[in-house]
Amino acid sequence: MLRAFLGGATAALLALGLVLALWLSPPDAYQGEYVRIMYVHVPSALAAYVAAAVACVAGALYLWRRQARYDHLAQAGAELVVVFSGLTLLSGMLWGRPVWGVWWAWDARLVTTAVLFLLYVGCVLVRGLSDDPERGRSLAAVVGVVGFLDVPIVHYSVVWFRTLHQPPSIGPGGVAIAPPLLLPLVVNALAYLALLGYLLVERARLAQVEASR
Amino acid sequence: MRALERAVALAAKDLRVEWRRREVLLPSASFGLLVALVLGLTQGAQPDRAPAVLWVALALAAVLLVERTTEREGEEGTLEALLLYPGSREDLFWGRWAALVVLLLVLGLALGLAQAVLFGVRLGPGWMRLAAAGLLASCGLAAVGALLSALLLNVRGGHLLMPLLLLPTCLPVLLAGIRLTESALQGAPFGPWLGVLVVFDALLLLVGPPLFAAVAEG
Amino acid sequence: MNPWVWVLAAYGCAALVVGGYAVWIWRRLREARATEEVEG
């Protein structure tokens, strides 16, 4: 069955990623062991953005076709954006504090991730708070579509807002990836994407089962 | 040309009601003024702070404006009534959008003038570029407002969701407005910010009407 | 402070957040299946 294969592949990739990240990969020349947090932070961010893309496409398809399975996928996607962007922010803070001395840096990537987090919290809420469930589904789809399309504009706005007037700051946002760090990063990125896929399938299934009751 | 006539008629109706009752602009403008006052008091009122304070105050006041416009519609049941009439749903969006653009321009003008007084800003020859920036920004804010406003009817806690959804979405408008205002006041070139606003407006006005129509039908 | 404290805190967060979500899904799936069996 597809689910079993996906689950198995996810578990295997995560295990491999974990071993690489925590054990086999070397500490960074400048950051030491702290660089291992990057193997959580960056893949989470990637998963969050992919989840947002899924929510956007699924939401648009739902508004167009009105088929329940698109709505289930959009719902799963939106929740997973919240999960993974929240994790990105948390891991970013745990990384930034010991390495750069700050809990937060105002670079474009972190700010955009915070915006993503808030928007998709709103997306999840709007579905639950609507009196009319069909309107709730439509609203959630709209937020998912507009939110995702807006994110690149938000990102560049923040980049230009900050850098055209100040020199770019060094912080959790700007890290050069040395080659020995690339393999654990790629493996963990793939692992998180597999995890995203698995959770999308499971959550969509849950939505479908609960809808048919 | 029926679609255009319909949209204009809707906008005119919204604006006429507002002119008569003034229950949306006054509270929003007062709130924006209050924000500017508090920020100026607590953070210092140097002229170079003025653009940032202006646009933050304007963004918050705009949220209030959109909320109040939606609330009034919900009370009067106008959206439901309008949906019964024949015609494209997208016209409703455009009518709502046009009305909001006008309201936001008025709000922006009022807050801008107050800002010039409070922060001691000299206006000078840059006012035309300032007006252009204000127009583009209002178009963008109005597009998001039009999309979100009617859609938050019949949603419990819609008042809480509106700022949560509106402000992050409109962040590019806020940032662009600040930099464009600064440039206009200093006589400096606009940089990429005009492009940011144009792209934002184009995107929202492209996807807004069909999205609105899709929800209104649901 | 030992760097590994921060590193393991980050991984712990990941496990809690993602694991918590996954557990939540599975629990609700099991409830749904249980009610299905009861209703036949």
**Is A168's pLDDT higher than 70?**
no
Closest CA to B148 of A211, A40, A126: A126
Confidence label for B80 from pLDDT (cuts 50, 70 and 90): low
Residue B207 is nearest to which of A129, A146, A156, comparing CB atoms? A146
Q: Are B171 and A155 in contact (CB under 8 A)?
A: no
Separation between Cα atoms, residue A120 and residue B191, nearest integer Å: 31
Closest CA to B161 of A75, A26, A14, A126: A126
Residue C18 is nearest to which of A22, A195, A213, comparing CB atoms? A195
Residue A125 is nearest to which of B161, B168, B204, comparing CB atoms? B161
Separation between Cα atoms, residue B144 and residue B69, nearest integer Å: 13
Q: What is the mean pLDDT of chain C?
A: 89
- All residues of chain C having their beta carbon less than 8 Å from the beta carbon of residue A80 are 21
% chain A with pLDDT above 90: 57
- Residue-wise pLDDT tens digits, B48-64: 888 999 999 999 999 99
8 Å CB contact of A142 and B218: no
pLDDT at A177: 67
% chain A with pLDDT above 70: 93
- All residues of chain A having their beta carbon less than 8 Å from the beta carbon of residue B155 are 126, 129-131, 135-136, 139
Closest CA to A93 of C15, B26, C13: C13
Confidence label for A175 from pLDDT (cuts 50, 70 and 90): low
pLDDT at B117: 87
Cβ of residue A129 closer than 8 Å to a chain B Cβ: yes
Residue B172 is nearest to which of A132, A138, A157, comparing CB atoms? A157
Confidence label for B134 from pLDDT (cuts 50, 70 and 90): very high
Q: What is the mean pLDDT of chain A?
A: 88
Confidence label for A180 from pLDDT (cuts 50, 70 and 90): confident
Residue/partner pairs of A23-26 with CB below 8 Å, 24 or more apart: A24/A184, A25/A180, A25/A181, A25/A183, A25/A184, A26/A180, A26/A181
> What single-letter amino acid sits at B42?
T
DSSP H or E segment with residue A158 = helix A133-163
ipTM above 0.95, yes or no: no
Q: What is the mean pLDDT of residues B176-197?
A: 88
Secondary structure in 3-state letters for chain B: CHHHHHHHHHHHHHHHHHHHHCCCHHHHHHHHHHHHHHHHHHHCCCHHHHHHHHHHHHHHHHHHHHHHHHHHHHHHCHHHHHHHCCCCHHHHHHHHHHHHHHHHHHHHHHHHHHHHHHHCCCCHHHHHHHHHHHHHHHHHHHHHHHHHHHHCCCECCHHHHHHHHHHHHCHHHHHHHHHHHHHHHHCCCCCCHHHHHHHHHHHHHHHHHHHHHHHHHC
8 Å CB contact of C17 and A94: no
**Is B156's pLDDT higher than 80?**
no
Cβ of residue A147 closer than 8 Å to a chain B Cβ: yes
**Is B151's pLDDT higher than 80?**
no
Residue A209 is nearest to which of C4, C11, C29, comparing CB atoms? C29
How far away is chain A from the Cα of C39, in angstroms, using its nearest Cα? Answer: 10
Q: Are A192 and A25 in contact (CB under 8 A)?
A: no
Q: What is the mean pLDDT of residues C1-24?
A: 92
Cβ of residue A199 closer than 8 Å to a chain C Cβ: yes
Name every residue whose Cβ is closer than 8 Å to that of residue A124 and which is 6 or more positions away in sequence: A78, A79, A82, A140
8 Å CB contact of C3 and A87: no
Q: What is the mean pLDDT of residues A161-177?
A: 59
Residue C14 is nearest to which of A40, A202, A203, comparing CB atoms? A40
Cβ of residue A158 closer than 8 Å to a chain B Cβ: yes
Strands of A88-159, DSSP E:
none
> What single-letter amino acid sits at A81?
V
**Is A61's pLDDT higher than 90?**
yes
Q: Are B206 and A153 in contact (CB under 8 A)?
A: no
Confidence label for A167 from pLDDT (cuts 50, 70 and 90): very low
Top residue of A81, A161, A163, A165 to mutate, by most chain B CBs within 10 Å, is A161
B65-98 burial, b at 16+ Cβ within 10 Å, e below that, comes to bbbbbbbbbbeeebbeebeeeeeebbbbbbbbbb
Q: Most confidently modeled of A76-85, B74-83, B140-149?
A: A76-85
- All residues of chain B having their beta carbon less than 8 Å from the beta carbon of residue A118 are 164, 168
Top residue of B83, B171, B217 to mutate, by most chain A CBs within 10 Å, is B171
How far away is chain A from the Cα of B23, in angstroms, using its nearest Cα? Answer: 26
**Is A110's pLDDT higher than 80?**
yes
- All residues of chain C having their beta carbon less than 8 Å from the beta carbon of residue A37 are 6-7, 10
